[in-house]
Amino acid sequence: ISCTWFLSVIQNEFRFGKIDLDSTMKLLEKLQMPFDYTHVKHVFKKTIDKRKEHTINMEDFRAIYRTIVHRAEFLELFRAYSPNGKILADTDIIEFLRKEQYETDASEETAFGIILKYEPIEEVKKRRQMSFEGFIRYMSSEECSIFKNDHRNVYQDMNQPLCDYFISSSHNTYLISDQLIGPSDLWGYTSALLKGCRCLEIDCWDGSNSEPVVYHGHTLTSKILFRSVIQVIEKYAFVASDYPVILSLENHCSPKQQEVMADYLESILGDKLLTSTIGDTVFTQLPSPEALKFKILVKNKKVGTIEEGMLRRDLDSHGETGEITESENLSDEDETDEKTRLYQKSASSKRKSDSITSTPPRKKAKMRKKKIAIPLSDLVIYTKSEKFVSFEHSMDNQKCYENNSIGEVQARKFVKHSAREFVSHTLRFITRIYPKGTRTSSSNYYPQEFWNVGCQLVALNFQTPGVQMELQNGKFLDNGGCGYILKPEFLRNRNSTFTPHNVGRYSKPMSLSIRLISGHQLPPSNLSKTNKADPLVHIEIYGVPEDQTKKKSSVIKSNALSPRWDEMFFFTVQVPELALIRFCVEDEISLVANEFLGQYTLPVLSLSKG
């Protein structure tokens, strides 16, 4: 039956005789299986190796298809459950689901659903059976992915206060390259939003013709219009997720251009912009992501209280400004101060004739006044930027809608020396972490240590690939990729005494055994003229310090098409709620160097058994 079906699908393509490589690729796509061009090309070339011509016949095509699709490990599994080695009845599928996939409640209905969805041969489907072709398609589908199916949708409680969630956050979102001379681009905002990012950063400066601009101040990065940034955000804010977007403004504009910003925010975002509280103007906890669905929040400094701002809503406050006084040692939202000094130092030493000069270090705690336009101030509701002084100061003075930004260096010291106070702080207040100014190449820090203490907005440079962004992407695959992940109970409960270095009673040890079976159509090595590589796999756990560990497999020589390991790995994870697991495939180039081939990262609790 399989053979007849296969011929019926492909024969039309061979009506004029033989086919070339391009037609082979098209025909493979018609068979609805994922194919890698490099591997197909190599197997195709091997097939025609001894011949003068560059085309293949039906039998050749079938051989190529089998080489790539009929994986030995699938066939072994299929035969283990198929009494005749040719077909699986619904009862065989049920047994497979229960024994191999740990689906204890699998029924005839489940089995028939799989047959209907994946069996390509109509005759077999009608008999409520599954052929090897159907089995391969099922095993290669998302249903059999290592990532739990029900975690692909929003499944967590979205009715808790905003500070109870990890929130996907980007740093200097407008930059698509480095931090000093690279381009600023609207694509930075589009791509971050399409990846589910929910907190974007906008550095605003006075531009010509009363048009505020967005760029990395005091550097040579190019400028884009604030208005254009807001238009892009309006268009893409809720494509990947319905949950609120926070605009973190690093505001360097004059009061006059701040008013222009406020006008653009209101006119372009319209109803999407949150301009008043939901419900009471007096509140003791932040609203939930659910309550703020499809809303855009402005995070900025604010003058006075929310109530005062609400009373002003219907009055025209254009031309009015307020003042905030804060100590002049690095203001938290003005990350640029830190970057400026850095850039000026390097710039002034290179170009003495330039007008940029090195600024003398400021004395600490000199007070400075900052003018804020009332129309912009009044758009800040639940996300008021407040200078971080100390944990104690926050505990005594900070309101639930006030949040802090802390640089990675200072935050790392807190993790090391005052983790309990840090956790206690993030239980109550939204806390944003940002990269240090010396990361001029847009490199990233490891986000895990800040998630471990409950920091909600751990801002990374989304444009820079690497392990750090892979951890970010892996963590936020969870909960339907909506950009909000409910923190574990011990990072939400006010009585918690949890610290990452001493998990104590918050440990829920989990035994994790992983069988590394095989790889399929891996990217070939850069050193290979054909489709070869010497792959090995690293399995890494990221989490609280006690859980950080990595193990590696043996190397399979010169096989990227179908390497086979069949190795077991065992881990004990103390705090699975915070743990991520990363599978990284490398090509062993020499005894001391490996080349990255690919990786997949996901939360440990999103691992699917089977």
* Catalytic residue set: 171, 216
Residues 6 or more apart in contact with residue 325 via CB below 8 angstroms: 367, 368, 369, 370
- Sign of the four-CA dihedral 474, 478, 482, 483: negative
Contact call for residues 21 and 42 (beta carbons, < 8 A): no
d(CA 224, CA 188): 11
For residue 507, the one-letter residue type is S
Collapse the DSSP code of 137 into the 3-class scheme (helix H, G, I; strand E, B; otherwise coil) and give the result.
Answer: helix
Q: Which two tokens stand for residue 180?
A: 């000093």
Contact call for residues 369 and 325 (beta carbons, < 8 A): yes
Q: Which two tokens stand for residue 470?
A: 């892979």
Task: Write down the number of H helices and E strands in the chain.
Answer: 20, 21
Rg (CA), the chain: 29
What is residue 478's DSSP assignment?
T
What is residue 522's DSSP assignment?
P
Contact call for residues 161 and 286 (beta carbons, < 8 A): yes
Alpha helices in 100-243 (DSSP H): 108-118, 122-126, 132-139, 187-194, 226-236
Collapse the DSSP code of 77 into the 3-class scheme (helix H, G, I; strand E, B; otherwise coil) and give the result.
Answer: helix
- Sign of the four-CA dihedral 473, 479, 481, 482: negative
Q: Which runs of E-coded beta strand occur in 389-434?
A: 402-407, 431-434
**Cα distances (Å, whole numbers) of residue 496 to 219, 462, 554:** 44, 32, 42
Q: Which two tokens stand for residue 178?
A: 């480095």
